[in-house]
Amino acid sequence: MQQDQPVTIVIAGGGTAGWMTAAALARFLDRNFRICLVESDDIGTVGVGEATIPQILLYNNALGLDEDAFVRSTQGTFKLGIEFVDWMRPGHRYMHAFGAVGRDVGLITFQHYWLRARRLGLAKALDAYSLNEIAARAGRMHRGGPITGNAIPAMPYAYHFDAGLYAALLRQLAEAGGVDRVEGRIVKVDRHGEDGDVAAIQLASGERITGDLFIDCSGFRGLLIEQELKTGFEDWSHWLPCDRALAVPSERAADFTPYTRASARPAGWQWRIPLQHRTGNGHVYCSDFMSDDEATATLLAGLDGAALAEPRALRFIAGKRRLAWNRNVVAIGLSSGFLEPLESTSIHLIQSAISRLLKLLPGREIREADRVEYNRQTDFEIERIRDFIVLHYYANGRDEPFWQMRRQIAPPDSLHAKIELYRANGHIFRENEELFTEAGWLQVFAGQGVEPAGYHPLADAISKADLTEYLGAIEELYAREASRMPSHVDFIAQHCAAPPRSITA
Ligand SMILES: Cc1cc2nc3c(=O)[nH]c(=O)nc-3n(C[C@H](O)[C@H](O)[C@H](O)COP(=O)(O)OP(=O)(O)OC[C@H]3O[C@@H](n4cnc5c(N)ncnc54)[C@H](O)[C@@H]3O)c2cc1C
């Protein structure tokens, strides 16, 4: 290996993961690195990822993407949270809205005052104390500081977008930044004799691409990390048994709701993601409890516009690769593991993997300590997200066999501890770099009907009159702020309306 040559990073795969990785590496690495991406036109991408969480703004900003141009070119809309319909029981709905719920006072967090006030019959449901939820339900959108000038934090938001168009946009950026794209099917992986690291990938054309570090973005098949290195997979399907999805676009809705909808179904759930040119829909289900034909019929019956294509079938197993970084291969995207898209976390996991890789970027030499730390952080992050998703299933009140079964399966220990802590005195703590905030956990606990026995005793320190005034003031501030916002449809028309285009699935 020549020391004066640039370090070569080879990205295997050009789906959302591959192009997100390529664009970020092109943006942040200097001429001491050479980046090459290999993708095959014959092998499609999953490309269903359409709903995101607010952290994506960090990624887009880091690349210098202009927000309005990005939304326009990806047929995007804005997202203030996720509405869960029929999860606790049929007819019930709640939202996991981004951002704060209520306001903390002094030492203790909002939920303790809310729990006390609810017992006294003085509190409304949580939605009255979330600016994001009030705005989402009213179909409004705003960015930047508060319109009313009151001391209200900015309203966090994410996007819905066409993942295929997003990958195309990132490809342009990556190639402009110097990434070499090679088209071809990878048919063989060569290893170094001495240490077993990957030395090169071979294409069907006979071309051989050598590298120092390989990023496996080949999707579920995990071409390098699994098929070649046999890294192993930790199967979480006993907690998350849904193993199939059907995705179908439908005619665009008259107005685009600024939130994703996840509606429970007899053996899974259905997503609804409004884009400017179409609505994305999908049915995630468990094949032990529902046939593919029934699942298709359920999906199509739940559309709010005409289907624009045949449903596309996808299969998966929930879980993660035992090591996301093994030898000189780092798996990013679906090759590293999969959690169903209930909380729109997959694209975020790609983004955080890229950021972790950049922080621990090896030169020509890979040090074991870096690899261990990368894998430790990766495991922590995905396990906590898994717990959050399992909570939606574990705490449900539905009658169908699938849902009864979900209540009976013991949750992971880390989730069990979190539920017990909340059930005791309403405490929620966010650990280290855990993705979901206290407000997120609170909304899902409350929305799924988990009830605490008590609350922090200091919440009793204020009088009933002060408690009423405190909650009323928050509600009024947020309602007034939301009432001044433009509608989501007008906001898009004003800033980032996309040109009409043909529909892609
Ligand atoms: C049903 C479903 C719904 C989802 N919804 C969301 C969502 O709402 N939000 C979200 O954040 N995420 C969502 N995701 C996840 C999201 O789609 C993925 O995380 C994202 O698309 C990344 O995929 P990928 O790039 O890892 O793999 P893929 O899209 O599968 O790309 C794999 C790439 O590898 C290439 N490749 C494979 N084999 C070879 C070979 N032999 N030679 C050369 N090239 C090869 C392919 O050509 C392709 O370019 C969803 C996933 C599923 C399954």
Cβ atoms within 10 Å, residue 293: 8
DSSP 8-state code for residue 500: P
| Digit-coded pLDDT (tens) for 163-175 | 999 999 999 999 9
Nearest-angstrom CA–CA distance, 482 and 66: 25
Phi, psi (5° rounding) for residue 441? -60, -45
Give the residue, out of 11, 21, 41, 45, with the most ligand 1 atoms within 8 A of its beta carbon, to mutate for a pocket test. Answer: 45
Q: What are the beta bridge partners of residue 261?
A: 83, 272
Cβ atoms within 10 Å, residue 18: 31
Contact 229, 325 (CB under 8 A): no
DSSP 8-state code for residue 6: P
Which residue's CA is minimally distant from atom 5 of ligand 1?
49
Nearest-angstrom CA–CA distance, 490 and 160: 17
337 lines ligand 1 (CB under 6 A): no
Residue spans of the domains in the chain: they are 7-50+162-235+318-366, 96-157+398-488
Nearest-angstrom CA–CA distance, 87 and 262: 9
- The rounded radius of gyration (Å) of the Cα atoms in the chain is 23
311 lines ligand 1 (CB under 6 A): no
Which residue's CA is minimally distant from atom 30 of ligand 1?
219
**Mean of pLDDT values over 84-99:** 97
The half-sphere exposure of 75 on its side-chain side, counting CA atoms within 13 A, is 23
- pLDDT-derived band at 501 (thresholds 50, 70, 90) equals low
The sign one gets for the Cα dihedral 238, 397, 404, 268 is negative
What number does the ligand 1 atom closest to the CA of 42 have? 47
**Mean of pLDDT values over 486-497:** 97
Distances (CA, A) of 399 to 93, 389, 409, 415: 17, 20, 15, 23
Lowest mean pLDDT among 144-153, 169-178, 191-200: 144-153
- In the chain, the N- to C-terminal Cα span, in Å, equals 45
The CATH-assigned architecture of domain 7-50+162-235+318-366 is: 3-Layer(bba) Sandwich (3.50)
Find the helix or strand (DSSP H, E) in which 423 lies. helix 413-425
Find the helix or strand (DSSP H, E) in which 463 lies. none
What pLDDT does residue 503 have? 47
| Digit-coded pLDDT (tens) for 435-457 | 999 999 999 999 999 999 999 99
Instruction: Answer yes or no: is pLDDT of 505 > 60.
Output: no
- pLDDT-derived band at 2 (thresholds 50, 70, 90) equals low
346 lines ligand 1 (CB under 6 A): yes
Which residue's CA is minimally distant from atom 49 of ligand 1?
14
Strands, E, within 13-69: which ranges? 33-39
Tell me the pLDDT of the chain averaged across its residues: 95
Phi, psi (5° rounding) for residue 309? -160, 175
45 lines ligand 1 (CB under 6 A): yes
